[in-house]
């Protein structure tokens, strides 16, 4: 017989607590800490997760182009290392016992991380902190992230339809300071990709004119960055502007 949603949630919480006791250590809770901008050290806020993530996916990818200039031999030529991406999967948030909205207590705060800060016109940045995991991987100290995707499944409601349980997945993308971004671009010759930070009012066509002097090249930028909707740009997004190899 399958466990009910309530029993499953309770079981997960008990397993979390039991795991801490089993290994002789207090259970460490994962949390997000967010800031107004990358270089800022003053926190805007933080949120501890109700239950820790069940999965963490870390993606680091390099972009290569075929180079046939060496006597007609096709070789893989390094172009760019993409910003580090992290996906936090199946985090549960529950407010059933308190009889309050899980959206107002937790989800609203997460949604604000995808809206730009009025003073800077950029997205806020955050660090993901979870005990030994982030210390081992240096994620909490060396990396700040933009929240680029939030997926929420509401799974329990009160009789008046107030949501009280949600399963959440978060997509994070590495953020760079202006100095770090300048160092990256300084290392790149004209036949290498550039890292571009989207500013308020930017369009793919305008970026293409600035980088290629040709608005029609916006499709090249969209394809490189897997952008299906050219109107989806948000201030603070990082785009790879690919070279036009000759």
Local confidence pLDDT in tens for the 246 residues of the chain: 344 555 555 555 554 555 454 455 678 899 999 988 887 778 888 999 998 999 999 998 887 777 666 566 667 777 677 788 899 998 999 999 999 999 999 999 999 998 877 777 778 889 999 988 888 777 776 788 989 899 999 999 999 999 999 999 999 988 876 666 666 555 554 455 777 888 878 889 888 888 888 888 888 888 888 888 888 888 878 888 887 654
- Within 49-197, strands assigned E span 55-59, 62-70, 73-81, 85-94, 125-129, 144-157, 163-175, 194-197
Q: What is the pLDDT of residue 104?
A: 95
> Residue 109 corresponds to which tokens in the numbers above?
């705060």
pTM above 0.85, yes or no: no
3-class DSSP state of 178: helix
Name the CATH superfamily, with its identifier, for domain 187-246.
Answer: LysM domain (3.10.350.10)
User: For residues 165 and 153, what is the distance between their CA atoms, to the nearest angstrom?
Assistant: 9
User: For residues 5 and 177, what is the distance between their CA atoms, to the nearest angstrom?
Assistant: 43
From the candidate CATH numbers 3.40.50, 1.10.357, 2.40.30, 2.60.40, the one assigned to the domain spanning 25-57+82-177:
2.40.30
> Residue 13 corresponds to which tokens in the numbers above?
């919480």
Count Cβ neighbours within 10 Å for each residue of 10-24 and write b for 16 or more, e otherwise: eebeeeeeeeeeeee
Q: What are the boundaries of each domain within the chain?
A: 25-57+82-177, 187-246
Q: Are 106 and 166 in contact (CB under 8 A)?
A: yes
Count Cβ neighbours within 10 Å for each residue of 182-192 and write b for 16 or more, e otherwise: eebeeeeeeeb
Q: What is the pLDDT of residue 25?
A: 60
Pairing assessment for the beta strands 85-94 and 55-59 based on DSSP bridges: antiparallel
Q: Are 192 and 246 in contact (CB under 8 A)?
A: no
Q: What is the pLDDT of residue 181?
A: 63
Asked, colleague to colleague, whether 25-57+82-177 and 187-246 share their fold, the answer is no
Give the ranges where the chain is alpha helix by DSSP (H): 5-22, 102, 108-112, 131-137, 139-142, 178-186, 204-212, 218-224
Q: Are 49 and 31 in contact (CB under 8 A)?
A: yes
Kindly calculate the radius of gyration of the chain based on its CA atoms and give it in whole angstroms: 21
């Amino acid at each position: 017989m399958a466990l009910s949603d309530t029993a499953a949630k309770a079981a997960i919480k008990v397993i979390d607590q039991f795991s801490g006791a089993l290994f002789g250590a207090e259970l460490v809770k994962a949390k997000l800490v967010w800031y107004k901008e990358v270089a800022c050290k003053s926190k805007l806020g933080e949120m501890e997760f109700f239950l820790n993530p069940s999965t963490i996916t870390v993606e680091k990818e390099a972009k290569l182009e075929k180079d046939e200039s060496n006597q007609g031999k096709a070789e893989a030529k390094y172009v760019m290392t993409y910003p580090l991406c992290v996906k936090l999967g199946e985090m549960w948030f529950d407010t059933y016992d308190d009889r309050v909205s899980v959206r107002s207590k937790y989800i609203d705060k997460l949604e604000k991380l995808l809206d730009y800060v009025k003073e800077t016109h950029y997205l806020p940045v955050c660090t993901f902190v979870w005990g030994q995991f982030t210390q081992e991987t240096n994620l909490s100290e060396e990396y700040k992230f933009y929240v680029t995707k939030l997926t929420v499944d509401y799974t329990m409601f009160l009789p008046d339809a107030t949501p009280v349980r949600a399963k959440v997945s978060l997509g994070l993308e590495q953020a760079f300071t202006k100095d770090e971004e300048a160092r990256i671009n300084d290392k790149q010759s004209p036949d290498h990709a550039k890292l571009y930070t989207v500013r308020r009012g930017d369009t793919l066509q305008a970026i293409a004119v600035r980088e290629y002097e040709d608005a029609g090249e916006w499709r090249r930028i969209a394809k490189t960055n897997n952008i299906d909707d050219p109107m989806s740009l948000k201030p603070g997004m990082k785009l790879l502007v690919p070279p036009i190899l000759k």
